[in-house]
Chains A and B, each alone.
Chain A
Amino acid sequence: MSKTVFCVDDSPSIRMLVRKTLEPEGYQLREANNGQEALDALAADAAADMFIVDVNMPVMGGFDFVKALKSGAAHTQTPVVFLTTESGDEKKNIGKDLGVKGWIVKPFEGSQLTKIVGLLTT
């Protein structure tokens, strides 16, 4: 049964990249433009085996989204990784407190993303 990866990022180019990388590997992709849209989509359909979340988004950013996600019942254990352009210290710690698995710095290579997703969704 294929796994569902939910990509939350306001850049259509990034979402396209993630989709192009993971779909051929057999993953189902869901996408949202920002945290709020993701939450709305999940309210309708909670399916997601993993989240890839951009930190900087309008309306609702990555941190707020994960906070909201983790306070709901459906995805307290679902793996979350952040996408970011820097790995500043403050971000590290906040992510850690939220129970996020880690971050992926842009740019990343498709194969690396695939491996990470593979590890986190088995």
Chain B
Amino acid sequence: MTYSGLIEAITRIEAGDLLSCVAAMDEANRLVGEVPSGERAVNELLHHVIEKISRWVRDGFGDDRNAERDDLISALQKFDAPREADTGQSGIDQEDADYDLVMSFIAESRSHLEDIESRLLSMEVDRDPELVNGVFRSIHTIKGVSSFLGLPRVKTLSHALETVLDEVRNDRRSVDSELIDILLEGCDRLTAFVNALDSWAETVEPSHPGHLAEPDVFINDVLERLRSLDHKDEAPPEKPHSLYTPEMIDSFVQESLEILDSAEKALMDLDEGAGRESLDEAFRGIHTIKGNAGFFEQEDIGQFCQSLESVMDGMRKGDRTIGSGAVTGLLDGLDALRSHLSRLSSDYVPEDEEVASAQPNRESLTLGKVLIEMGAVQPEDVDAALDAQGRRIGEILIDSGVVAESTVQEALTVQNARVPKSETGTSTIAKRDVRVDTGRLDLLFTLIGELITAHAMVINNPELNDLELPEFEKASSSMGKIIRDIQSLSMSIRMIPLDGLFSKMRRLSRDLARKFGKTVEFLSTGEDTEMDRQIIEQISDPLVHIVRNAIDHGLEDGATRQASGKSESGIVELSARYEGNEVWISVRDDGGGLDREKILARAGERGMNIGDDGGASMEDSAVWSLVFEPGFSTAETISDVSGRGVGMDVVRRNIEQLRGLVNVESIKGKGTTVTLQIPMTLAIIDGITFHAGGILFALPIADILEFHRPDADAITQAPGGRRILRIRDQLLPVITLEKYYKLDRAQEDNTDNVFIILGSGNRRAAVPADELLGNQQLVIKALPPRLRGVRALSGCAILGNGDVCMILDVGYLLNAELNGDAR
């Protein structure tokens, strides 16, 4: 029996270091178990040791213990036997990871990392020492907790970041953009760790998670850069400005792969005889990938996409037959793209023989070029016929999950009042969070939707019409209130503040500014405005596009700005607010504004409808709308990110899919403001139901301006058959639904009808109704398949009495009117 382990443990005891005391006591206790019976002296000695050490702990520390400690050691040494292997500290339990701790760590770290990013960005312009302290403390905490999980790299990385920050807060290092860059990157890596842990957590059983291996996030480059901050030489030349992190690249790869899947399917549809739409879809997909590739400085991918685009463009122009051979060539191209993208992803594991080269498959690249030559393609503009197809109604419904007619959309609604703003976690105590399976959450919302319909069917049941049921009415009213409360609650569960999205834009704007060589001041208000989390995801891309445009095209470069008396630094301001039923998100830049002449000129070139006077009589807003037409672009070079004219029309399409609007205001020389108007209600609306042409229709109250009963002489007929309604001083086009839908009814003289005045953005129209029925909440359901191609319908709804009404899509209706399609 040897005491060398115990002696070593006692030697390690430092005054005040309680763990070292306990470790020694553990060792002594272990030895007690090994004492052969009858060896009383040994037993007593060991217990004496334990007693002594307990006393040290209890009485607090002091250096006078050292003498006692040495006595103990000599006493033990007398008993010592030949050395055995030292058992050492068992350290952190390597068996089952502590699932709760991992989850808590993830939540806590995310919160800290958000704070850190936000503080770091502020640190660039604000020398407030509290910012530095805050970042330091956050990193320190992450380091501390991570040590319990056995995450040495996290610890190493945080320690390195901490050291640099400590220097800053002790005035031994100054803050500059390069420092902020590297610190941001360090935080991105920490975020990558947290994300990887999150993924791990999703795959394991909480009660039996098994061993947690530290995620394999690469940190050496960041460590290297942190170390080299001390020296005056430049950072390693391979990555001068790491604007992107492996995690962002993964995200880009993921997104691109998904797009490629869709594009592939579209191309195969095309091969099987589908129409132009499939080609357009594939084109748009490649275009998106090209844009993103540009952002991540993936030249090869960008050029490859360019080649594919040119081939497809030639096909779109219609002067080449789209034969199977051509489609095969394109599919090969997609494959090459796919494999190249996969290599970029951080969890790519190369096969043994494979050389992880940075070039896409040479063979396919050549194939692409050959196809271009074969087609004699001019890299010209996109065909304006893109927008001739009517929009698919199905696209309008988000979160479709609509499988059969019986499925009801989830209930998201705002009753009357606005959704109250919630606190956005400013307290330092973490909120109690719970992980919920999103599938179940969606099901819950679906059922709530059904509950609303069922409730409506109960209280509006025609069988109750003639009955006097005061008690029943009280009870059902109380039930109604409870249901409304559940609705609000379910909506609030899905609502999160725009803060996260704005932070992303802030970061994007900083990175883009540096990329384009401009200085940008990013402002934001209304970040605590809340929206449904899925809607936020949907508007993220359009917003990125708009911000990119603002910085790239909107803001002039520093010199130009100064020459015209502006500050060198351009402003990009993001703001969000509630407006009635909607959330309005604006992106304002103080750049050069939209060039009306240039836009009109371009529209003319494209053959767009700008009137006989070359657009001189067009209102500004109408001119700005031209920018959103597919096929439009004023960028000179094709290889520009938005150069193919796909950018802004996709933005508007995405927003209109959310039943929202895009509004543009611009003053030449002063700047441009793009506003996204997104309704908060998705699938439940307040609507007015009415009869017209024998059909039951409904209109969202939000789009109705007023009801009007005109005098006989207020309606006139314009040449061409269109009717005009005069209200006060305004002339409004009349949209007669019988005619619009070609309903087979005798032409009514509806001068004594009620006219419903619709408005959306700047557009107005009047719709005559045969009979107004009432105002009610409607749960929007998808149109049955045979009705899906019908224009200007956003869905249908079941009324309380079981009748079905058609819900009109006001945006579409008014659009058609503006373009002269309706009469």
**Chain A residues in the interface with B (C-beta under 8 A):** 10-14, 16-17, 20, 33-34, 56, 58-59, 79, 81, 85, 87, 92, 95-96, 99-109, 111-112, 115-116, 119-120
Contacts and interface: CB of A to CB of B under 8 A. Distances in A.
A54 to B, nearest CB: 8
Contacts of B430: 12
A116 B18 contact: yes
B261 interface: no
Interface of B: 14-19, 21-23, 25-26, 54, 57-58, 60-62, 90-93, 98, 100-101, 104-105, 107-108, 134, 137, 140-141, 143-145, 147-148, 428-430
Nearest to B91: A109
Given A12-B430, A17-B148, A103-B17, A112 B101 contact: no
A11 B54 contact: no
A85 B147 contact: yes
B92 A107 contact: yes
Contact of A87 (B17, B54, B105, B143): B17
Contact of A10 (B17, B18, B93, B428): B428
Looking at B16, B26, B91, B430, which has the most chain A CB atoms within 10 Å of its CB? B16
A103 B17 CA distance: 5
Contact of A13 (B14, B18, B108): B108
Contacts of A100: 16, 60
A28 B15 CA distance: 28
Contact of A16 (B90, B104, B428): B104
Interface centre among A92, A102, A104, A111 (most CB of B within 10 A): A102
Given A102-B16, A105-B17, A14 B61 contact: no
Contact of A11 (B57, B60, B141): B141
Contact of B144 (A85, A96, A120): A85
B69 to A, nearest CB: 14
A116 B144 contact: no
A63 to B, nearest CB: 14
Contact of B57 (A16, A99, A102): A102
B17 A102 contact: yes
B60 A106 contact: no
B32 to A, nearest CB: 15
A17 to B, nearest CB: 6
Contacts of B429: 12, 33
A20 B100 contact: yes
A109 B17 contact: no
Given A10-B428, A16-B100, A34-B428, A103 B18 contact: yes
Given A11-B141, A105-B19, A106-B148, A96 B428 contact: no
Given A16-B101, A104-B19, A56 B140 contact: yes
Q: Is the interface of A mostly helix, strand, loop or mixed?
A: mixed
B677 to A, nearest CB: 39
Given A14-B144, A14-B145, A119-B57, A112 B104 contact: no
B54 A56 contact: no
A22 to B, nearest CB: 14
Nearest to B428: A33
B25 A115 contact: yes
Given A12-B108, A13-B101, A20-B100, A96 B145 contact: no
Given A105-B19, A111-B26, 12 more contacts: A13-B145, A17-B98, A17-B148, A33-B428, A34-B428, A56-B137, A87-B16, A101-B16, A104-B19, A107-B92, A107-B147, A119-B58
A118 to B, nearest CB: 9
A9 B145 CA distance: 11
Given A12-B429, A12-B430, A17-B101, A102 B61 contact: yes
Contacts of A115: 22, 25-26
A10 B60 contact: no
Given A11-B144, A17-B101, A101 B108 contact: no
Contacts of B137: 10, 56, 58
For the complex of A and B, the 5 pairs showing the least CB-CB separation, nearest first, are A102-B16, A13-B104, A102-B18, A107-B147, A107-B148
A81 B761 CA distance: 65
Nearest to B93: A109
Nearest to B63: A96
10 contacts: A13-B108, A14-B144, A14-B148, A56-B137, A85-B144, A95-B16, A102-B16, A102-B60, A106-B147, A109-B90
A81 B61 CA distance: 11
B143 A85 contact: yes
Contacts of B17: 87, 102-103, 105
A111 B429 CA distance: 27
A81 B101 CA distance: 22
B390 to A, nearest CB: 53
A79 B54 CA distance: 14
A87 B143 CA distance: 15
A112 B100 CA distance: 20
Contacts of B18: 81, 101-104, 116
Nearest to B130: A58
A33 B111 CA distance: 15
A111 B92 CA distance: 11
A1 B18 CA distance: 25
Contacts of B108: 11-13
A70 B154 CA distance: 36
Contact of A108 (B14, B19, B134, B140): B19
B61 A56 contact: no
A103 B14 CA distance: 10
A44 to B, nearest CB: 17
Contact of A96 (B22, B58, B62, B98): B62
B443 to A, nearest CB: 30
Given A13-B101, A16-B101, A106-B148, A99 B60 contact: yes
A20 B147 CA distance: 17
A111 B100 CA distance: 18
Contacts of B145: 11, 13-14
Contacts of A12: 104, 107-108, 429-430
Contacts of A14: 144-145, 148
Contacts of B19: 104-105, 108, 112, 116
A50 to B, nearest CB: 11
A33 B430 CA distance: 10
A34 B141 CA distance: 13
B22 A116 contact: yes
Contacts of A87: 14, 16-17
A106 B91 CA distance: 11
Contacts of B14: 87
Contacts of B147: 85, 106-107
Nearest to A114: B22
Contacts of A103: 16-18
A83 to B, nearest CB: 8
Contacts of A102: 15-18, 21, 57, 60-61
A102 B54 CA distance: 13
A112 B61 contact: no
Given A13-B145, A17-B148, A116 B57 contact: yes
A20 B98 CA distance: 11
A9 to B, nearest CB: 9
A10 B141 contact: yes
Contacts of A16: 100-101, 104
A21 to B, nearest CB: 11
Nearest to A59: B428
Nearest to B106: A13
A2 to B, nearest CB: 19
Contacts of A104: 18-19
A10 to B, nearest CB: 6
B139 to A, nearest CB: 11
A112 B148 CA distance: 14
Contacts of B62: 96
Contacts of B143: 85
B163 to A, nearest CB: 12
A15 to B, nearest CB: 9
Contacts of B93: 109
A20 B61 CA distance: 27
